[in-house]
Structures are given as C-alpha cells and as structure tokens.
Structure 1
C-alpha cells in the first residue's frame, strides 16, 4: 500500500474525495513488479504476475508469469504494459481513504508522516509553486497582488492563535511553554536481538494470558528470554512447545491430520517433542522455518539461531489463536467484559444521581435553618447540630470508600479479561509504549518495530512523563494514559527493583559459596529456567 501512495502525482490542496479519485485512477493506469492482473492470451483474459519491467525502444514491456488455478506460475512471456489490465482495482476507494488518513498529519496541503517521508526520500518542505499560490490573491478585475501584504495592511500583522493539541511534529517551542524534563535513555540490555523482542513479548504474553487453556503454569519473561538463548534444549521451552502441540491436537485441525497421516501418538512427551516440532515445521510450508528440520531431527534444537526459535514460536501462537478452544475463551471474555462495563456504568450513574440528590438536600436544609434562625422560631443547638453533621459525614465517607472499592474491583476484573495487550500510546516520533501487568517494565517499541528498549524505575517513569509535550496529540494522549495507570505502573516497577536487589544479593552468596564448594549451574538465579516445573500440566 505504501508504494501506491508514493506515486508521482500532485496531491497539493485537493480535497479528500478528489485525492482518492486521483490515486484510484492512477493505480488503474500503473503497473508494478509483483502485481497480479490480467492479459490477453489465446483470445481470452488470463491472470498473470509481473516478474520484471523493462523498456524496449521506448516501449514499456513486462515479463509476466501465467498463473494457474492453484496459484502456481507456469511459463513466462513478454507483453506490452499497455496490454495488461485489472479485472478489479488493486485497492478499494475505502481502503485508500483509511490509508490516507493514517499516513498524513495535515490536509490542505497534504503532509505525510515524517517517518514515511524519510523512508521514501520525500522532502517535507512544501513545493515552491504551492507556497506561491498560498501567498497570492486574485482581485475582482483579474489582476494579481500579494495576499500576504494585503493581510498585513488590513489587519496590522494580526496573529492567528494555534488551537492545541496539534500533530506532535508540527509543535514548535514557545517562550511561554513550561519547562520539559529531559527524556531518560532507554535500557536495551536484552539477550535476544532487539528486532525479536516483539516476538518474545507476544509469545510470553499469550502463554501468560491463556495458561489455563494450555495447561501451562506461569513463568517470568526473563526466564523465557534466558531459555530461548540457551544453547541446549531445556524443560521450559519443551513444555511451551508441548502445550501448543496438545492444543492443536485437541482442535483436530490440520496439525491433527498430519499426525494421523504419520501415525503419531497423540501424546507429546519430553523425549519425542522434537518429532512433533518437525511435523509442524513441515506443515507450515514456510521455507525459512522448514530449513531447520534437519537440525532439530539431529537433536541440536538449541543451536538454532535465537531469532529463528522465536519465529517458530510466533507461528505456533498464530496457529493456536485459530483453535476453537481459544476462540471460545475470547468470546466468553468479551461477554464478561461487557457485563462488567455495564455494571460499572450503572454504578457511576447511580453515584451521580445520589450526589446530585445529596447536594439538593444539603442546600434545602441550609435554607430552612437560615429561615428558622431569622424568624426566631427555632433555637439553634450548635453542639447537637455539629454532632449530627459529623455523623452524616462519617456515613457519607464510608459509602464513598465502598463505592471506590467497587469501582477498583470492577476495573481490576475488566483488566484481567483483556483479550489482547494494547500500547498505552505513542510519543512524538510514533514510538509505542507497552505495559504488561505481569512484567515490571515499561517497554518502548520504535515506529518501524525494529528497535526496543525499556524503563524499569519509578524515577525514569516520572522523567518520561515530565518530558511529554501536551501540545501534541499523541504525547497528550500518552501522558493521560500514564497518569491513569501511574500507581499500578510505579508500584510494579518498584516491586521489580526490589526483586533485582534480592537477586543480586543471592548471586553474591552463590559466588562466595562457589569459592569453597563447586556450585551447581541450577543454583544460579539466571539459570532458574532449568528448574521450571509445569504445575498445571495435564497428566
């Protein structure tokens, strides 16, 4: 889609509808390598795929592969680009509309996101002819004059205030802005390659969220990271794979059919798990993954590259998500979440009604007491009234605490039922911020998902929040989310910090003991994954 949007057309000050039509028409006229369309062959329209585009005597030519019904290519031919045509447009107008809105930061003139501009080498400065048009104005008699000069002459350099928030990349510093703190540097000491951290988090989060369905007891993210990087097969990784295989077998889908064809037993053991892994890799028909089958069969799974291990697990998770067991859990959680949200809304509505009623009663009582004192019809017993008000205040405070606890309980239950993890928000440069309730770090993913880092202390969290500019749309939304979950995030960060300190003290103890007695590898906390026991295993 991105390459379509970067076609050499002038978008300028066109409206959205006109821009969509222009791109749509342009796409129907242009051809690209890798595109599937149709061409005339033996008097009929036959589907084909463009393999190569070249020019011959100034004519645009295409080398195409003819597509069979099973989507495989047979022979190739060279045809004129003008003879190729689309049976249907490569993309719909509605898709174009969504893509344009997601890819631009400004209209009239259209301005694309800075990261896309850098990726495709597109200058961010407006074209000179566009600037020329903006600064000129036509008089009634048809002559041209400088519109900017006229505006200065008529309005005396009137300044039009900017209405914030605006796109973060358009925010410029102002003398009246509050001072922003310096954004703390990200920690990047991952053991897996940084480009694979997303896969690591996805697999771990899936196992944590659906552990009961998988019959797989929870384990820390650091244990999984250490297990993935270990150069030998280990019990944690074997249990993860076995749990996934059992889920696929129970679903009786494609993987189940493969095992039946090979007459495999339907029980994966710690001894035979590699055979079932090879069967899965064959089933995927993904060359990048299946090329590791020989290594696994020889018993050298641990020597496979870390990024490849994670890609295999990611593929397993994507297959597991399609199973009926996971779909049923998702549907059930959606229903439960909707019911809890309805309860929360009803509780909020009742609280508001009660608050309005109490305010009205208090105002009426105050008016009645004032009238009684002025008329002299009622003696004012200050001590008795003070005690009565104090009792009412205590009752009201108790009710308020009860309601807060109810809301907190509902929010906690709703969070537990979350179907998938979503980022808290994005910063100025589209970096995404992730927080997992089972992991005491705030992860940061770059816009292109190739780089990852994290914050792990409360001080870093505070500095991050102080560095966000609320004049920008993205950073304002991100700051609101961080403020909303501040207590939860900061408490989790502090808890992890204490655990790290205790871990370091334990490692020092192991080191001192190893000078006297040879310590076993499993005594080292960084090798804790070797002692993993699946307490939820279905025997």
Structure 2
C-alpha cells in the first residue's frame, strides 16, 4: 500500500513540475489522495512530548514524532513516505475505496463490452428472424421491423418468429344461469333497453325476465312486453293494402278490426284480450318465416295446435322466449321501426361527419405549429393549443352523443379464441363473455345447458384478465382498449375471487319480476276477469236502456230485464255471458214501444208503472252501417270459449251501440235545431206583421194631413194621396188618365216599404177626388 502511495506521490510531483500554472488545483489533488503538500511544512516538535530533536514527519498531515514516542526503531523507518497513526486508518480506507471503485469500473467496462458484442449478435440474429418472418408474413414487416399488433394466431403458432413470448392462459370466468338459450335473454333485455321509449316499455333486468318467463301465471312484465309488441304488429297488419288477403280463417278478431277500423280500436282491449290476439298474429302466414324451431311445432303444426289463451302459461321457458323473439323479429318489418332506425342512422351519420371535420381541423392546427417563428411564437402556439383543446372537447361531446344513439350493444372486443366480451349499460356489475365453446373444466355448469355465457364479477379477476391479454395481437389489442374505455361504466365487486358453486349460480331472489311496473305504459292496468266483463255488459245495458226511454222504448219487459240482470250477475262461464249478450243484441233490434192508447197517460209515474203500460214491437237498425257484419259477429259470439274472446265481442257490441246512440242523438239535435230555426222564422214573420199592422193603425189614428198642391207642378185640383206620407200628386203628372183602384205610394215610400198590405180602403183618395 505504501509503495503504491509513493508511486502516486512521485507521479503527482512530476505533474507539479510540468504544470506550474495551476498550483491551487495541484495542491487540492494532493490533498485528495493523501500526499503531502509541499506548500505546507510539518511541525518542528513532537506531537507526544512537545520537544524538538530528531523527528520523523507524517507525509499526510503536519504532525512529527520522536522514534521512541512513536514506538519505532530505526529499522522501522520506511524508504518512502511515512504516515502517523492518525492518518494510517484514513489512508487505508481511502485506498480500499479507490480499489473498490476501480474494480467496479473495470467490471462495468467488461459488462458494457460484453453487452455491446452480444447486442450485435442479437441484432444479427433478430435480423435473420425478421427476414424469415417476412418471407412467411410480408404484410406485417416494414423497413426491417415487425409492425405490431399482428394476428393473434401467429403469436401462439409462431412465437419465435414473431419475437413474442407465449402469452399465459386467460383466467376462467364465472358461469351464469345454467339454462338453455341464455343469450336470448340478453338480446331481449338489450332490445327493450335500446328501443324502450318507442315501445313505451320500462327497461327490466335479466333476472326479472328470467323469472317472468319461468312463471306459470301471468306477470306484469310478460303482459306489458307482449302488449307493446302486439300493438305495433296489429297496426302493421291492418295498414297493409292486402290486409284481407293475409288474414286466414282463424283471424276472426283481426278481420273484425279491419271491418270496423273507423271506430273500433283493438288497442283499447289489449289488457283484456292480448292472448287471443297473440294467437291470431303468430298464425298469420306473413310471420311464419320469422318463427324458429322452438315454436314451429307448437303453434304451426296442425297436430299440436291448441288454444293459446288457456295453454300459453303452461308452455316451457324455451317456448315463451321463442314467442317473444318471434314478435321482436316481426317488429323489424313494421313501418314505425323502419322510420326509427332510419332516424337513428341519419343522426349517427351526421355526428360522424361533424367528428371528421373536427379531426381535420385538429390536424391543420397541429401542422401550423412548426411553422411559427419570431417573438410572438409562444403566444401563437398557446392560442393554437387552446383551439386544439376546445376542438377535442367538442369531439368528446360528439362521442357521448354517438354512444347515446344505440341500435344494439356491440362487443367491446374479441380475445385470441374469438370469444366476445360485452359491457351492458343495464348491468354494469358484470363483464360478460360469450364463449364459442363451454368451459368443460367447470363442473358446476353442464355443457349442454350452459349457453356459453360467462361473466367477470370482481375487479381482481378483471385485472388478471388484462394482464393475460397480449397487446401485440390485433384482437386482444382492441379488446384491451375497449375494456379500458368501458371501465368507467363497470361497477365490479372489489376483493378476491371466491369459488362459485352450482347453488350460487342461480339468483337468490326473483329480481322484482312480480313487482315490475311499466311507468311508460299506454294501456290500462286491468286484468280480464269474469267480474269486470259482467260490469261491462251491465253498463252497456244501462246506457242503451236510458237511450230507449227517451223515445218511449224498452228492449224487453220489466220482469225479463230484471231476470236478465240477475242471470248476468250469477254467470260464471264465458259461454253463459256470451248467450246473454246475444239475447240482448237480438232483442235490442226489435224493442218494445209505448202504444198510442197509453200515450196520453201521465209521464210522471214511477218506473214500475211505466213498465206495466201497453207496448208494441218495433224494429230499429242498430247494425245498419255494417252490412252483413252482424251475422259474422253473431257467429263469433256463439263460438266464445275464453274470457279474452268474450271481452273483444263485448267491446265490439259496445262500440256499435255507442255509434248508434251518437247518430240518433246527432239526428235529434239536428231536428231540434231545424225546429228551433223554423220557430224563430215564424216569430220573426209574426213580429214583422205585427209591426206593419201597428204602422197602419198608427197612420189611421194620426190621420195623416196631406198637402193641397201637387209636389210636381205645385197646383191644386184633383189629387192622389200617398198612403204613408203627406205627398199628393195629379194623375196627369204621373201619366195616368184615371185614378188607380189600388193603393198608391210615392217613389220614396215604394223603396222603403215594398211589402205594404193592399187591403186598406181608398177613403182618403176618394175624399180628395170628391173635393
């Protein structure tokens, strides 16, 4: 160590002799390595005893020692520089640090050289790999480099050539409902979520639809969904030009609606009769092509054909879902649906055009940034950056509008096995996966009944999924972007994944299926019961009886009416009510009218006395505006078997009677108006005659004083007097040869009174002539 230090000291001294201009820097370097500085001298006394004499001096500091004070002898004196006990420890540490740094530097130098040479070797090897990869897949190589992302299959098959490590297997998602066709549930729920405002149906969840379809009785969700779809399809069928051609022999109520389309609306009776109308709709030939295998055998086979109203809720879950899908598929052929789709596509296209223009504006602004020079460059660049930021904010707003215009929920991406991943806004608690093939390793889900739909419900499983996805693959690269973009919509459960048993797969509650309320419904919240139909029939009878009483008619005598009402209240079978309805219809066309012999009786008697009067049968034409439809309605009523069918025939009969009553009331009001006008005209004529008589009487009473001279020539003589004014005139002045026998009026009075009665005597004229 001392020898090395002496060597360094000699080298430093040589540098000192060669570089005389920078003395301070040279002394600093000497101090740094521990060599003595020649600018400073050592102490002339011993550090221990403080006496002078023969001393040995430290080469690092200013201390000096006697040999015996330093516990040394002459043979211990080194040939080179000596260090005192205080500086030995420091110098040893200094030398050790210098050697450590030297070793590290040498090691780093060796590693850098090794890395440099190995890098060259790797580059050469990579170039060879890229060249081999380029020969097989030239579309993914550009300028000697592989352009990622590449096809996901290449990452697994050609992991060495693609220079990509084999990605780890994806984590297994959790299974959902262990039922068939679970994907149809998602389709129906998503369709209602996207088009709920047009259908006027409040969105619901998969759990609610699942339990509603599995129920053996009518639920509000199933009823509202069917009524909304049936309403559009009925309007589509009745608005076609060939309506009567597409209706078959079983479409009795649809034919009735077409015949009575001017005043009869089937939508009013959908809450009571949606099942028989559904039965007629799905059996129409135009909708047969939309049906799948699930309902073809059930509804379109003559062998299995049965009454849908009584057997619909006995159908399986699979068949009910098939009917709903059939109605939705048929809905895409409706005019209103076409218009709604066209409107959304047009709005979406307009937003995309605006977005394209804004992106072009951003590119133009970014292109002007490098061209800015001069003193105002910073301000100009800041203003352009502000414009770019505002344009980007507008683009984000357009993106939000584009997301709000939904046609269907598209998958956010595909993984390496082409499995689809979905983020549904109506269920943000799960990331759903539609698998091509079921997960056979999961024993809790049967392969046949799985439906191949799974989900990630926890944030930890989602993070694990993102780590296993390979960003160098085209599909998984887009999938990572889609999941990260839709992450703000997800509300996954925080925590570790737990094992899922087969019992945990099924929901623990009915999801509110029984408590579902359609807040946007346009239909009455009423069920078709026998009691409601009784009230409808009795209200029809009451209203029609009140109308007949106005003209002194009754549809039946008092005793039979009371018996009929009692039979209606006691009826418990639709066919019994239908027969009572037919009885009322037949007797209403030939009611009893009060005979003329009893018409002079008092009209203030009570109801029982009125019914005991003598009546005779008359005929009224209630069905006169419907041609031969009455016979069809009568046959339809005789074939009633269910409450829904009965509600429709009662509704048709009610509309016919209302139309008849309205027309009669309108005719009566028109007749009353004509009589009223005739009376007003008669009164006016009487008032005018009375006025004329009053004028004549007043003239006679006042004894008008006529003038003595002709108002033409102003001479007296034989004069003719005007009947209503004092004017007189010579007959000769009027061009007359004799006095007229009729009353005479001057020109002014003729225009004022054109209709003066000519029954007055010519007393004044004769009087004046005699004079």
**TM-score, with length taken from structure 2:** 0.38
Offset at 1:413? 1.4
State the distance in 2 between where 1:269 and 1:242 align.
6
State the distance in 2 between where 1:349 and 1:276 align.
55
Partner of 1:443: 432
Offset at 1:448? 6.8
Match of 1:477 among 475, 478, 501: 475
State the distance in 2 between where 1:250 and 1:277 align.
13
State the distance in 1 between where 2:480 and 2:408 align.
19
Partner of 1:342: 353
State the distance in 1 between where 2:388 and 2:166 align.
37
State the distance in 2 between where 1:259 and 1:350 align.
63
State the distance in 2 between where 1:187 and 1:322 align.
38
Asked if 2 retains the 8 angstrom alpha-carbon contact of 1:427 and 1:478, the reply is: yes
State the distance in 2 between where 1:236 and 1:248 align.
19
Partner of 1:412: 400
Change (3 A) 1:352 1:259: farther
State the distance in 2 between where 1:351 and 1:157 align.
40
Change (3 A) 1:328 1:478: farther
Match of 1:325 among 318, 327, 336: 336
1:186 and 2:173 aligned: yes
Partner of 2:297: 288
Map of 1:148-187 to 2, 5 A cutoff?
160-161=132-133, 163=137, 164=140, 165-166=150-151, 168=153, 171-172=156-157, 174=159, 177-178=164-165, 180-187=167-174
Offset at 1:249? 1.7
Change (3 A) 1:460 1:177: same
State the distance in 2 between where 1:312 and 1:535 align.
24
Map of 1:86-105 to 2, 5 A cutoff?
none
Partner of 1:266: 266
Asked if 2 retains the 8 angstrom alpha-carbon contact of 1:180 and 1:466, the reply is: no
Asked if 2 retains the 8 angstrom alpha-carbon contact of 1:168 and 1:471, the reply is: no
Asked if 2 retains the 8 angstrom alpha-carbon contact of 1:442 and 1:456, the reply is: yes
1:538 and 2:535 aligned: no
Offset at 1:341? 0.4
Asked if 1 retains the 8 angstrom alpha-carbon contact of 2:411 and 2:422, the reply is: yes
Runs of 4+ in 1 over 4 A off after TM superposition: 156-159, 253-257, 259-262, 395-401
Asked if 1 retains the 8 angstrom alpha-carbon contact of 2:409 and 2:424, the reply is: yes
SS in 2 for 1:531: coil
Change (3 A) 1:359 1:173: same
1:216 and 2:227 aligned: no
SS in 1 for 2:513: helix
State the distance in 1 between where 2:362 and 2:131 align.
46
State the distance in 2 between where 1:359 and 1:158 align.
36
State the distance in 2 between where 1:278 and 1:196 align.
23
State the distance in 1 between where 2:252 and 2:307 align.
20
Partner of 1:312: 323
Offset at 1:477? 2.7
Asked if 1 retains the 8 angstrom alpha-carbon contact of 2:200 and 2:521, the reply is: yes
State the distance in 1 between where 2:387 and 2:130 align.
55
State the distance in 2 between where 1:528 and 1:160 align.
61
Offset at 1:536? 1.4
Asked if 2 retains the 8 angstrom alpha-carbon contact of 1:337 and 1:417, the reply is: yes
Offset at 1:236? 0.6
Offset at 1:470? 4.6
SS in 2 for 1:477: helix
Offset at 1:339? 0.7
Judging by fraction of residues, say which structure has more strand: 1
SS in 2 for 1:331: helix
Deviations 1:136-187 (A, max 9, x none): xxxxxxxxxxxxxxxxxxxx99971254524617733646535735412122
Deviations 1:282-335 (A, max 9, x none): 23455334167637422x533321121111111111000110101001111111
Offset at 1:424? 3.3
Partner of 1:225: 210
More deviation in 219-228 or 340-349?
A: 219-228
Change (3 A) 1:171 1:281: same
State the distance in 1 between where 2:235 and 2:413 align.
37
Deviations 1:455-504 (A, max 9, x none): 233433333333233554xxx234324414523x222221x649xxxxxx
State the distance in 1 between where 2:420 and 2:354 align.
31
Deviations 1:393-436 (A, max 9, x none): 5x666545433331121112122224333333433333223333
Partner of 1:206: 191
Map of 1:43-54 to 2, 5 A cutoff?
none
**TM-score, with length taken from structure 1:** 0.53
Partner of 1:55: none
Count of residue pairs the alignment pairs up: 328
Partner of 1:374: none
Over alpha carbons, which structure has the higher Rg? 2
State the distance in 1 between where 2:384 and 2:314 align.
65
State the distance in 2 between where 1:324 and 1:187 align.
41
Asked if 2 retains the 8 angstrom alpha-carbon contact of 1:199 and 1:310, the reply is: yes
State the distance in 1 between where 2:364 and 2:231 align.
52
Change (3 A) 1:531 1:398: farther
State the distance in 2 between where 1:527 and 1:161 align.
55
SS in 2 for 1:219: coil
The unaligned stretches of length 5 or more in structure 2 are 1-127, 141-149, 258-264, 289-294, 439-450, 495-507, 524-771
Map of 1:428-507 to 2, 5 A cutoff?
428-440=416-428, 441-447=430-436, 450-470=451-471, 472=473, 476-484=474-482, 486-487=484-485, 489-494=486-491, 497=493
Asked if 2 retains the 8 angstrom alpha-carbon contact of 1:208 and 1:218, the reply is: yes
Deviations 1:508-534 (A, max 9, x none): xxxxxxxxxxxxxxxx96341222221
Offset at 1:262? 5.0
Map of 1:113-132 to 2, 5 A cutoff?
none
Asked if 1 retains the 8 angstrom alpha-carbon contact of 2:207 and 2:511, the reply is: no
Change (3 A) 1:455 1:424: same
Change (3 A) 1:157 1:250: closer
State the distance in 2 between where 1:358 and 1:344 align.
22
Q: Alignment RMSD, CA only?
A: 3.5
State the distance in 2 between where 1:497 and 1:458 align.
6
